[in-house]
């Protein structure tokens, strides 16, 4: 499609800020959406190949999904976990269920071999035929309600379902070579896994099917002939929960080239829509329906977190303002989507502004869906340092791209209050208080603002001594401590959205902003912060189930259905 990109992409200085990134919502380019669009469009076939689970819910199940070229199998090991052992934290050693996504069709010997490794998770060791390793725990309040209702021949209560939104929560989903499973590059040339995290999200989608099957199974075990299956409409309201802590936070910092691709695709989609000279009756109608569906989604967005409660309340008011806007001035003026976005920047909260990004992109699949496959990258291309760059050129890059970092005084306690480290107990990233807790000498390189500023000061000193022409290859021989910063500035120079433009060690950092941003790209919903460093989410709520792929209705599944449907 010929495109008139009259409206430029939003400035990275505006977008790459944590307060805004912490307000991102899923879009049609999010990875759960692109995955289901791709396998639904190709009519992948699904079957439950094995169900060997006893009346206590202990045993093995295998789900298979077959695309044009390959078969993948989710092997599930179900457990009867005593409540006192149920913990979502990474320190847990037993779970209600553990899973692996197997490359191909497992032989009975594979299932036996993996029975010794998968239930142990980090403590086991898998092999290259396993693509994902995951586990999940039941939501006690909802799981029991659903099993109990179904066993007595009743459908569970919709309000109780909506309050929680999932039967089980995954507490870790590992991919890419972790604990011996397949390295990503072994499978990255397969079209179905061309986008980031499609492998992990395929596993989660299949796990969602298991969570309902195991509940129905236990209901039958309890109620016998009285028991009923879940109504399909009600079943759709169940996603998979997930708890995410700081483990995920450093990812956005350690993969600058990839983050650029994600952001660039999202911002490009927005710019394309804003550049449309007019709207069509069809997109106006769809947009109006989206507002209604979002309103209903807000009602089910439950959180105990005060900050998020206030934001949801503000978002509700934003949606009312938006509904009024669509009546007057409306969307019939020239460049209507651009006018709407411009208006939102003055009229709405940050949550509201970023929701507008999601909503205006949504009805424009034909215009933006080609951006989905651009959201991965061969990071190795950006990794090497260009030693032929001169000191003067590096100074220029920093002054152009890191104004935000040079403006911070890292010698003050507030601006250097935290340090990122990996804990010996959990082997997971943590955030410490630099001036009161031990361990700052083992800090991980997430304080890139401070480090780039230190690099800048050394470069300026050299340039002041008339050595601005020196090559960085020579500079790094005598200043090896700056190597990681040199790599970052060279990547940031090539890729506008590579760097979050905020100080990640300041006292007022809210770490969950990092998590929310990443999870929105996954396609997560119902963000429910449990503290400033831990968040619960819902994945695949309202999505078709694997056994519904044949009747896959395409787009927009992620928004709750219209009230009359």
Partner 1 sequence: MKRSLNEIEQTCRKAARGSGLPWGLADDTGRAVRWLHAFQLDGVSSLAALLERLDHQRPVDHAPESLDGVWQGPGNVLSPIMTGLALSDCLALIPERGIETRAIACPILVAGYVGQTILNREQSVTLGWLSIGLSIYPDRLAITGDEADLYAVRADRLTCEKALFDRDCSGGRYPKVGDTRVNAGAWEKLENRAWLTYVEATEASRLSGAGAGLSDND
Q: How many residues bind partner 1 (CB under 8 A)?
A: 75
Taking the CA atoms of residue 436, residue 438, residue 444 and residue 448 in that order, the dihedral angle to the nearest 10 degrees is 30
Residues 172-211: x where in contact with partner 1 by CB under 8 A, - otherwise, as a string:
----xxxxxxxxxxx-------------------------
Q: Strand, helix or coil at 313?
A: helix
Q: How far apart are CA 358 and CA 24, in angstroms?
A: 9
Q: Tokens for 394?
A: 């590096």
Distance separating the N- and C-terminal Cα atoms of the chain:
34
Tell me the CB-side half-sphere exposure of residue 166, using CA atoms within 13 A: 30
Q: Strand, helix or coil at 33?
A: helix
From residue 241, alpha-carbon distances to 238, 324, 339, 374, 498 in Å are 9, 34, 37, 28, 29
Q: Are strands 59-66 and 45-53 parallel, antiparallel or unpaired?
A: antiparallel
Of 209 and 245, nearer to partner 1 (C-beta) is 245
Contacts (CB under 8 A) with partner 1, residues 135-164: 137, 139-141, 164
Q: Tokens for 336?
A: 């209507």
Which window, 10-18, 81-89, 152-160, 257-265, contacts partner 1 (CB under 8 A)?
Answer: 81-89
Q: Using the rule CB under 8 A, is 115 a contact of partner 1?
A: no
481 Cβ contact list (under 8 Å, min separation 6) = none
Q: Using the rule CB under 8 A, is 93 a contact of partner 1?
A: no
Which window, 96-104, 291-299, 310-318, 469-477, contacts partner 1 (CB under 8 A)?
Answer: 469-477
Q: How far apart are CA 461 and CA 479, in angstroms?
A: 13
Q: Using the rule CB under 8 A, is 282 a contact of partner 1?
A: no
* Region of residue 224 (phi > 0: left; psi between -120 and 50: alpha; otherwise: beta): left
Q: How far apart are CA 48 and CA 50, in angstroms?
A: 6
Which window, 100-108, 224-232, 279-287, 426-434, contacts partner 1 (CB under 8 A)?
Answer: 426-434
Which window, 21-29, 169-177, 278-286, 364-372, contacts partner 1 (CB under 8 A)?
Answer: 169-177
Q: Report, in Å, the least distance between residue 245 CB and partner 1.
A: 3
Of 11 and 378, nearer to partner 1 (C-beta) is 378
Q: Using the rule CB under 8 A, is 43 a contact of partner 1?
A: no
Q: Using the rule CB under 8 A, is 386 a contact of partner 1?
A: yes
Q: Using the rule CB under 8 A, is 124 a contact of partner 1?
A: no
Q: Using the rule CB under 8 A, is 428 a contact of partner 1?
A: yes
Q: Using the rule CB under 8 A, is 243 a contact of partner 1?
A: yes
Of 115 and 178, nearer to partner 1 (C-beta) is 178
Of 490 and 525, nearer to partner 1 (C-beta) is 490
Which window, 311-319, 332-340, 380-388, 497-505, contacts partner 1 (CB under 8 A)?
Answer: 380-388
Q: Using the rule CB under 8 A, is 128 a contact of partner 1?
A: yes
Of 277 and 383, nearer to partner 1 (C-beta) is 383
* Strands of the sheet with 130-138, listed across from one edge: 45-53, 59-66, 71-78, 97-103, 130-138, 166-174, 239-244, 534-539, 525-531
Which window, 34-42, 256-264, 470-478, 537-545, contacts partner 1 (CB under 8 A)?
Answer: 470-478
Q: How far apart are CA 382 and CA 379, in angstroms?
A: 5
Element (H, E) at 63: strand 59-66
Return the residue of 108, 438, 464, 563 that touches partner 1, per CB under 8 A.
Answer: 438
Of 337 and 421, nearer to partner 1 (C-beta) is 421
Q: How far apart are CA 39 and CA 423, in angstroms?
A: 39
């Amino acid at each position: 499609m010929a495109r008139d990109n009259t409206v430029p992409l939003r400035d990275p200085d505006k977008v790459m800020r944590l307060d805004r990134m912490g307000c991102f919502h899923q879009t049609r380019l999010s990875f759960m959406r692109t995955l289901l669009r791709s396998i639904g469009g190709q009519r992948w076939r699904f079957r439950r190949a094995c169900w060997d689970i006893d009346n206590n819910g202990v045993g093995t199940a295998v789900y298979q999904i077959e695309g044009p070229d390959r078969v993948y199998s989710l092997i599930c090991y179900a457990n009867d976990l005593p409540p006192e052992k149920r913990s979502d934290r990474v320190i847990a050693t037993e779970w209600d269920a553990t899973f692996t996504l197997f490359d191909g069709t497992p032989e009975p010997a594979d299932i036996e071999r993996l029975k010794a490794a998968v239930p142990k998770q980090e403590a086991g060791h898998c092999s290259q035929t396993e693509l994902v390793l995951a586990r999940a725990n039941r939501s006690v309040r909802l799981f029991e309600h659903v099993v109990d209702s179904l066993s007595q021949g009743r459908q569970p209560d919709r309000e109780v379902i909506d309050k929680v939104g999932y039967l089980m929560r995954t507490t870790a989903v590992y991919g890419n070579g972790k604990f011996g499973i397949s390295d990503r590059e072994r499978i990255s040339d397969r079209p179905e896994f061309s986008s980031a995290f499609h492998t992990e999200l395929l596993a989660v989608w299949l796990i969602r099917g298991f969570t309902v099957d195991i509940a129905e199974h236990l209901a039958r075990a309890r109620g016998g002939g009285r028991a009923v299956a879940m109504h399909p409409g009600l079943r759709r309201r169940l996603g998979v929960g997930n708890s995410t802590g700081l483990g995920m936070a450093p990812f956005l910092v350690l993969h600058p080239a990839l983050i650029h691709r994600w952001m660039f695709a999202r911002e490009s989609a927005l710019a394309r829509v804003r550049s449309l000279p007019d709207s069509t009756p069809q997109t106006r109608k769809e947009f109006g329906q989206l507002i209604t569906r979002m309103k209903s989604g807000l009602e089910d967005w439950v959180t105990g977190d005060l900050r998020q409660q206030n934001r949801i309340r503000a978002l509700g008011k934003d949606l009312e303002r938006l509904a009024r806007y669509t009546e007057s001035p409306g969307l019939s003026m020239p460049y209507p989507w651009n006018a709407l976005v411009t208006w939102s920047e003055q009229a709405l909260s940050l949550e509201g502004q970023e929701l507008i990004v999601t909503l205006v992109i949504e009805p424009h699949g034909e215009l933006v869906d080609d951006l989905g496959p651009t959201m991965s990258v061969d990071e190795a291309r950006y990794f090497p340092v260009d030693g032929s760059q001169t000191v003067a050129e590096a100074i220029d890059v920093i002054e152009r791209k890191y104004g935000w970092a040079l403006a911070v005084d890292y010698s003050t306690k507030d601006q250097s209050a935290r340090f990122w480290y990996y804990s010996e107990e959990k082997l997971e990233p943590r955030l410490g208080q630099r001036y009161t807790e031990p361990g700052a000498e083992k800090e991980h390189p997430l304080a890139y603002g401070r480090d780039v500023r230190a690099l800048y000061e050394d470069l300026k000193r050299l340039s002041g001594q008339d050595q601005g022409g020196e090559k960085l290859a020579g500079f790094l021989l005598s200043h090896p401590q700056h190597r990681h910063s040199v790599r970052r500035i060279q990547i940031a120079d090539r890729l506008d959205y590579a760097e979050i433009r905020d100080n990640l060690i300041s006292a007022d950092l809210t770490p969950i902003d990092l998590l929310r941003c990443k999870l929105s790209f996954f396609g997560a919903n119902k963000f429910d912060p449990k503290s400033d460093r831990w968040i619960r989410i819902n994945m695949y709520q309202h999505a078709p189930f694997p056994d519904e792929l044949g009747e896959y209705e395409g787009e927009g599944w992620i928004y709750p259905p219209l009230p009359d449907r």
